Chains A and B, each alone.
With several copies, the nearest count.
Chain A
Amino acid sequence: MKVRLLYFARLREVFATAQETPETPANVQTLADLLDWLRQRGGVWAEELAVGRAYRVAVNQDLVERDAALHENDEVAIFPPVTGG
Chain B
Amino acid sequence: MKIAVQTEAFDLNAEVVALYQANPKVGAVASFLGLVRDINEGQGVSTLSLEHYPGMTEKALAQIVEDARQRWEVLDASVIHRVGALRPTDPIVLVAVASVHRGDAFAACEFIMDYLKTRAPFWKKEATPEGEHWVDARESDDHAAARWGR
Contact = CB atoms under 8 A, between A and B. Distances in A.
Nearest to A60: B56
Given A54-B137, A84-B117, 20 more contacts: A8-B51, A9-B51, A9-B123, A10-B123, A61-B53, A61-B55, A62-B59, A77-B53, A79-B53, A79-B121, A80-B123, A80-B134, A82-B117, A83-B135, A83-B138, A84-B50, A84-B81, A84-B92, A84-B120, A85-B116
Contacts of A79: 53, 121, 123
Contacts, number: 74
Interface in B50-109: 50-53, 55-56, 59-60, 81, 92-93, 102
Contacts of A9: 51, 123, 125, 134
A32 to B, nearest CB: 21
Contacts of A52: none
Nearest to A10: B134
A81 B56 contact: no
B53 A83 contact: no
Interface in B112-150: 113, 116-125, 134-138, 141
A10 B122 CA distance: 12
Contacts of B60: 61, 63
Which secondary structure dominates where chain B touches chain A? mixed
B122 A82 contact: yes
Nearest to B136: A83
10 contacts: A9-B125, A10-B134, A54-B137, A82-B117, A83-B122, A83-B124, A84-B52, A84-B122, A84-B124, A85-B120
